[in-house]
Structure 1
Amino acid sequence: MKKSIVLSTLLGCLVSVWIVADALAFRIVTREMMETQVVTVTDLIPNVDNFIVLFDTSSSTNEMVPGKSITIIEATKNLLKERNAWLPDLGYQAGLYEYTNNETLAGTFKEIYGMQPYDRDRFAAAIDQLPDKGQGPTMLQAGLHGLRKVLANLSGKTAVVMFTDGSFSVVRGPKKPLQIAQEIANDNDVCFYLISSATDDVNQRLLEAVSTVNTCSRVVPLATFLDNPNYLGGALFSVKTTSYERLVPRTQVVGAVADDILFDFNSADLRAEYGEKKTALVDFLQQNPDAYVVVAGFTDSVGDEAYNLGLSKLRAENVKSALTNAGIDGERIVTLWYGEDNPVADNTTAEGRQRNRRVELAVGTP
């Protein structure tokens, strides 16, 4: 799918851009540049065929989000509305379900928007049906049991966005959440995005364990997700910029653009040559405390797909570590990884493979 977007929209969505410059290029973007940029053509590339949102409606969601004057259930419902308002329709199958415990072994798993082609308006109406106040105890098994039945009728790759505090009811009969999640991962091409409101150490460890059922799954703290909702965008689609032109720059800084960081074959180690770029990026982030950066890892097509996904994750995490070791708060850095997807060059040549072994950086301010 192709769209024409001005650069101000691109940086607002944290999209990496291509510029003609040397390998260490790092350039500041001003608001005047944003207003005078020519139109840029981009490809929106779906990363999954389906997405499923599992919404926790237990009484624990009536607690306040740490550091914010809003309850968990209100914050997550508002966030779903905001994300749905701009989510591009790339032919997804979508579903929205709520879950809690009704004192039965299976718990409650309620269909709000049954799996069907994604439609923004109908999905928005379904979100409005979600309760504004939670009730009843949490039963993580209820969400996972219901999810397994939904996945049984799907084909292709699925992103599961699950809002949860990680708690579950210990009852005889149903399997434990980690075992159910592992079986789901074994039987389906699925990635879990666990949006965690867990405060108990046991529940936090459980969610971390669930996120290890495969390479693409992860846990995102709710407060972090509310501040950096790009995690959800990266789960469903990526954006490839195919052109970029600049007019006369002005002075008000709103972001920065940087060329890709390239890696040696089968390596996630940062080359010494990128020290200058790291210093420039760290200086920018320190001078602009509201700015944040998205770090996206990629590989060439050589090797096993699952291994490459893990390698791209390690590359992104190593770049993040380099920034945090230089004093940048990790909460300001969003890491994404795509393995060998979305190559920017021909993988049949050595030069092309080198360009594909990369980490893309996108920097913006609110």
Structure 2
Amino acid sequence: MKRNFFKIAVMTVLICVWTIASVQAFEIITREMVEKQIVTETDLIRNVDNFIILFDTSSSANKMVAGKNVSMIQATKNLLKERNAWFPDLGYQAGLYEYTNNETLTGTFKAIYPMQAYDRDRFAAAIDQLPEKGQGPTMLQAGLHGLRKVVAGLSGKTAVIMFTDGTASVVRGPKKPLQIAQEIAKDHDVCFYLVSSASEEANLRMLETVSKVNACSRVVPLNAFLDNPEYIAGALFMVKTTVYERLVPVTEVVGFVADDILFDFNSADLRPEYNEKKNMLVDFLQQNPDTYVVVAGFADSVGDEEYNLGLSERRAESVKSALTNAGIDGDRVVTLWFGELNPAADNATEEGRQLNRRVELAVGK
């Protein structure tokens, strides 16, 4: 029933076209309509204003990651490079610092990317400067003590991503890690993300205790952090998805009308000059398997009317044969013939009669 409807529609187009003296080659037939469209919009919403990464460069970071053929320090450096490549720039202030090497008894806190506006390329260059091998004792106090100085100059909320195995060398002077973390959390809007490679029970308990300084802080096992980018994403931004429906105008291509195929006097043979047009039509039909072509044959007024009706049929069948021989299913080629009816030009002149010895094409679906 649907196919018959489109046949009628295409025939209506053909009748309109046949009243025109000149038709543009491959004139597209379209149908205007309005359809519903489901739109999904995704927005990234910043959770924090600043983020700081504290990179552990102590010798304990040279241990191998459980189940992976890579050291902890190499794995975390590779992770930072990978995540930085896709990290969205939402207007953060960012900093990258390394801590805990053996330059001094109390450890050091070194700025690799001092706190400033986040820039992906410059941050990547800073990550490249991080060492591939750790050295010296773990000075967790040095990392937290240096952090306190950095956050003192910040406004807004800050996420601190700290890679640590939970060990802290005992030295005189600096406060214990828990005390420093508590003071920082009390004075500033800070969330600690302690990326833990701790294996000993005491170190695990210590990191868990530090993570309790406020509700937003937490401990994330290193293996989980390496395998799930959501841990960084969730710390720094959230994804808001909005789905709604809208009406949009649509222009659907339902076919085209080609220039007429002209024939010699009293002939139904397809001229070689039309091979290119035939090939274009074949390509269109092959690329649009739900379409079909209407082939309508005509004749001039010279000779017997009944004979010319048969001649126009043979001309239509000639074009159909050319299409089916090129691989188009015969059921997709509708042949019609009208003899001398509806001339395209004046039969009183040779030029006019030539235009009337024709096959007209239209494609629909």
- Say yes or no: TM over 0.5: yes
Cα pair distance change 1:39/1:55, threshold 3 Å: farther
- Partner residue, 2:236: 236
Give the TM-score taking structure 2 as reference length.
0.56
The answer to whether the 8 A contact 1:101-1:142 is kept is no
How far does residue 44 in structure 1 lie from its aligned partner after superposition?
A: 0.9
- Partner residue, 2:181: 181
How far does residue 82 in structure 1 lie from its aligned partner after superposition?
A: 1.0
- Partner residue, 1:110: 110
Where does the alignment leave 5 or more consecutive residues of structure 1 unmatched?
A: 1-36, 246-366
- Partner residue, 2:278: none
- Partner residue, 1:131: 131
- Partner residue, 2:323: none
1:48 maps to 2:48? yes
The answer to whether the 8 A contact 1:105-1:173 is kept is no
The answer to whether the 8 A contact 1:40-1:241 is kept is yes
The answer to whether the 8 A contact 2:102-2:135 is kept is no
- Alpha-carbon distance in 2 for matches of 1:142, 1:118: 24
- Alpha-carbon distance in 1 for matches of 2:64, 2:95: 27
CA deviations 1:5-43 (Å, max 9, x no partner) are xxxxxxxxxxxxxxxxxxxxxxxxxxxxxxxx9773211
CA deviations 1:176-208 (Å, max 9, x no partner) are 000000000001000000000011111111100
Cα pair distance change 1:38/1:69, threshold 3 Å: farther
Percent of pairs with identical residues: 80
Write out aligned runs for 1:30-41 (5 A): 40-41=40-41
Give 3-state SS (helix, strand or coil) of 2:215's partner: coil
- Partner residue, 2:315: none
Give the TM-score taking structure 1 as reference length.
0.55
CA deviations 1:49-93 (Å, max 9, x no partner) are 000000001111111100111110111001101111111111000
- Partner residue, 1:358: none
- Partner residue, 2:81: 81
- Partner residue, 2:319: none
- Alpha-carbon distance in 2 for matches of 1:182, 1:114: 24
How far does residue 105 in structure 1 lie from its aligned partner after superposition?
A: 5.2
Give 3-state SS (helix, strand or coil) of 2:76's partner: helix
- Partner residue, 2:100: 100
- Alpha-carbon distance in 2 for matches of 1:95, 1:157: 14
- Partner residue, 1:164: 164
Cα pair distance change 1:38/1:68, threshold 3 Å: farther
Write out aligned runs for 1:199-218 (5 A): 199-218=199-218
- Alpha-carbon distance in 1 for matches of 2:101, 2:170: 11
Cα pair distance change 1:189/1:70, threshold 3 Å: same
- Alpha-carbon distance in 2 for matches of 1:150, 1:105: 21
The answer to whether the 8 A contact 2:38-2:243 is kept is no
- Alpha-carbon distance in 2 for matches of 1:244, 1:71: 47
- Partner residue, 1:153: 153
- Alpha-carbon distance in 2 for matches of 1:222, 1:123: 22
- Alpha-carbon distance in 2 for matches of 1:171, 1:61: 20
The answer to whether the 8 A contact 1:95-1:115 is kept is yes
- Root-mean-square deviation (Å): 1.5
The answer to whether the 8 A contact 2:208-2:219 is kept is yes
- Alpha-carbon distance in 2 for matches of 1:118, 1:211: 26
Letter in 1 for 2:152: A
Give 3-state SS (helix, strand or coil) of 2:109's partner: strand
The answer to whether the 8 A contact 1:58-1:137 is kept is yes
**How many aligned residue pairs are there?**
209
* Bigger shift: residues 175-184 or 40-49: 40-49
Letter in 2 for 1:87: F
How far does residue 229 in structure 1 lie from its aligned partner after superposition?
A: 2.2
> Higher Cα Rg: structure 1 or 2?
2
